[in-house]
């Protein structure tokens, strides 16, 4: 009995230590990102992902950094390297958490980065995939503010391209703001971004 108690105490201590290291690592990665050191932050998130084989969040954040950096990138080799790395990270996150609307939004944003870089080359092959991803994500999580926001922003881009009215999509963005106000992430490390972007879009709509 005494031996079992000792083993239990050791296991509890080990788990607590692992959780503490995870939390410290994640907090440090977010600090690096906020200090305008995205490459260092992405590298740290990726290292954490390697140690957290059953946790999709570190690879999700590393993927997001690589995707965000790719918007506006003109160097084809650099863009390809960043988005290829992001795709690997998304694939890893998806293997851990399938049909996850947060990861699906990230996949759609990755395709959007390619389309933004060269619409003539990637628009025909990836636009349908983006629409399909958002359609599936909104079925899974109809009240997720990031799903509503990013789908609306994609739809606005398409409407702008074809000279269509964007008012319906502005309403969708406004709805996302309302959803953001009541949204509660599962933990301090779960996705909770998008509100500032939604407010910017609504201002442009007005």
Asked if residue 51 is part of any domain, the answer here is yes
Digit-coded pLDDT (tens) for 57-103: 999 999 999 999 999 999 999 999 999 999 999 999 999 999 999 99
- Show the DSSP H helices in the chain as ranges: 2-34, 38-51, 57-70, 76-96, 101-117, 119-140, 145-161, 167-182, 195-205
Number of domains composing the chain: 2
Range of the domain at 62: 16-137
Question: For residue range 24-50, what is the model confidence (pLDDT) as tens digits?
Answer: 999 999 999 999 999 999 999 999 999
Q: Residue 50 maps to which CATH number?
A: 1.25.40
Q: Are residues 151 and 122 in the same domain?
A: no
**Considering the entire predicted model, what is its pTM?**
0.89
- Say how far apart CA 8 and CA 84 lie, in whole Å: 43
38 with 72, same domain: the answer is yes
Residue 38 and residue 94 share a domain: yes
Residue 160 and residue 127 share a domain: no
pLDDT single digits (tens) 130-186: 999 999 999 999 999 999 999 999 999 988 887 888 899 999 999 999 999 999 999
Could you say which of 137, 168, 194 is where a domain stops?
A: 137
Does any domain span residue 5? no
Do 167 and 128 share a structural domain?
Answer: no
């Amino acid at each position: 009995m005494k031996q079992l108690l000792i083993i239990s105490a050791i296991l509890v201590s080990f788990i607590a230590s692992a959780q503490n290291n995870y939390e410290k690592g994640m907090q440090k990665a977010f600090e690096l990102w906020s200090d305008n050191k995205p490459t260092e932050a992405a590298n740290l998130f990726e290292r954490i992902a390697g140690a957290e084989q059953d946790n999709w969040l570190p690879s999700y954040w590393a993927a997001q950094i690589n995707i965000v950096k790719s918007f506006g990138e003109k160097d084809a080799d650099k863009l390809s390297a960043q988005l290829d790395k992001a795709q690997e990270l998304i694939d890893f996150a998806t293997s851990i958490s399938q049909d996850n609307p947060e990861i699906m939004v990230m996949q759609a944003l990755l395709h959007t980065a390619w389309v933004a870089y060269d619409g003539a080359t990637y628009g025909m092959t990836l636009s349908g995939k983006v629409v399909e991803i958002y359609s599936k994500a909104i079925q899974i999580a109809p009240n997720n503010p990031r799903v509503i926001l990013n789908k609306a922003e994609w739809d606005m881009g398409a409407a702008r391209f074809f000279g269509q009215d964007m008012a319906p999509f502005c309403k969708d963005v406004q709805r996302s703001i309302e959803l953001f106000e009541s949204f509660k992430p599962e933990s301090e490390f779960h996705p909770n971004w998008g509100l500032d972007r939604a407010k910017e879009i609504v201002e442009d709509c007005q």
